[in-house]
């Protein structure tokens, strides 16, 4: 009879997610995963499969959680235009710049693996399309509130906002100082989301 698991699965996923996020997929070794999870090889692989399956699970949980936070932020902000501006400005939300330097796990993984790993490419497409749909709903709401021109296509506008935001994520990963990155974010938000 199999022994019951004696570890917190969510805690292990968070720990390995952070390892992959900080080091990247290729630079994360089995020893790193064992160290951060606190599990032995048999327990880790028995519960989660191989390194690739563990990575995909951590990535999916990250993107699902991030998507839920985005949905909540966009829906709960009283003025849609303010929510869209907050979305663009999100990569510079940490005044010290540590979050900007760390980047986004999905974006980092896309840069590292999407050309060689079809599973990561599929996850990236799923994530960016669902993000585009959420942002497009918010664009339409801003149009209905009279804050954005009705001539704008909500989906095209959402993709432009996502591209701008992901550009900021990329620039943050380069170590660009947070003040310069914040000024760039403000310029993007002002030009992409002007007051009508």
Q: Domain limits of the chain?
A: 59-192
pLDDT of residue 194: 85
pLDDT digits (tens, 9 = 90+) for 23-68: 999 999 999 999 999 999 999 999 999 999 999 999 999 999 999 9
Low-confidence ranges of the chain (pLDDT < 70): 1-5, 196
d(CA 35, CA 26): 16
Q: Name residues whose C-beta falls within 8 Å of residue 45's C-beta, 6 or more positions apart in sequence.
A: none
**pLDDT above 70 covers what percent of the chain?**
97
Q: What percent of the chain has pLDDT over 90?
A: 94
CB 109 within 8 A of CB 124: yes
pLDDT at 5: 58
pLDDT at 164: 97
Under CATH, domain 59-192 is a member of which superfamily? Tetracycline Repressor, domain 2 (1.10.357.10)
Whether the pTM exceeds 0.85: the reply is yes
């Amino acid at each position: 009879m199999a022994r019951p698991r004696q570890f917190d699965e969510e805690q292990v996923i968070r720990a390995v997610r952070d390892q992959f996020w900080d080091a990247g997929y290729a630079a994360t070794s089995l020893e790193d995963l064992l160290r951060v999870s606190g599990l032995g090889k048999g327990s880790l692989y028995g519960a989660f499969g191989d390194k690739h399956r563990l990575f995909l699970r951590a990535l999916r949980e990250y993107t699902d959680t991030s998507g839920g936070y985005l949905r909540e932020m966009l829906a709960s902000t009283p003025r849609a235009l303010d929510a869209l501006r907050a979305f663009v400005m999100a990569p510079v939300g940490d005044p010290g710049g540590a979050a900007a330097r760390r980047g986004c796990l999905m974006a980092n993984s896309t840069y590292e693996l999407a050309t060689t790993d079809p599973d990561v490419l599929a996850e990236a497409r799923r994530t960016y399309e669902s993000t585009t749909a959420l942002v497009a709903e918010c664009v339409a709401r801003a149009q209905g509130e009279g804050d954005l021109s009705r001539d704008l296509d909500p989906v095209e506008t959402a993709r432009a906002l996502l591209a701008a935001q992901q550009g900021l994520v990329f620039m943050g990963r380069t170590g660009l100082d947070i003040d310069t990155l914040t000024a760039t974010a403000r310029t993007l938000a002002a030009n992409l989301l002007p007051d009508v």
